Each structure stands twice: as structure tokens, then as C-alpha cells.
Amino acid sequence: MDIKIELPDGVFDTQFPEAEFVGRMRELAILELVRARRIHEHEAAQALGCTRWELVEKMKAAGIASTEDLFAEIRGGLVDAIAARRKPIRRKDN
């Protein structure tokens, strides 16, 4: 896919090179596809040419929870629910 963006002349220079901007936009687009659940994390890591753990760091920086984080949250909720279920019910004596 090619995306074209109209920008004013003079936006890019040696301090803000076009190639770096293009690379960052590509990375953000891929991360957004992960957020939208349109591609899997392993596909994103492959597309970005990074390791799984580098991808997780990029996702965290973009505010995207990784699969491990989501599973940990679900696991924590289940543990809490099981613990609450095991507590004896206190009844008020009348």
C-alpha cells in the first residue's frame, strides 16, 4: 500500500529528514493495525524487522497492551473472582 500525504515545501531538512519521517509513519501505521486487531503481533514484528520484545516496547510506548499484558489482566481477574467465591458468606443474626 502506498499512502501519499500533501505537506508544505521545506518541512524536511537535515534535522528532520524525510526518510526518518516515512519510517516513523510506517511504524505507527503497523502499530495501529495491531491495536485494531487487523494483524497479529508476530506479523507486526516481522514487518518492522524487530524482535518480539522490541515490538512489545514499541506497543507500550504507543499505549497498546500486548497479548501478555492482556492475559495477565484476565488471569488476575479470574484469581480475584475465585478467591471471592471461596470466602465464606457472613450472615447477620437477627
Tell me the per-residue pLDDT of 71-90, one tens digit each, with 9 for 90 and over.
Answer: 787 888 888 888 888 876 66
Note the pTM of the prediction, 2 decimals: 0.73
Indicate the pLDDT class of residue 6, thresholds 50, 70 and 90: very high
CB 40 within 8 A of CB 65: no
Q: Of the ranges 37-41, 43-47, 76-80, 87-91, which one carries the lowest mean pLDDT score?
A: 87-91
CA gap 93, 3 in Å, rounded: 71
Tell me the mean pLDDT in the region 48-75.
90
Q: What is the pLDDT of residue 67?
A: 83
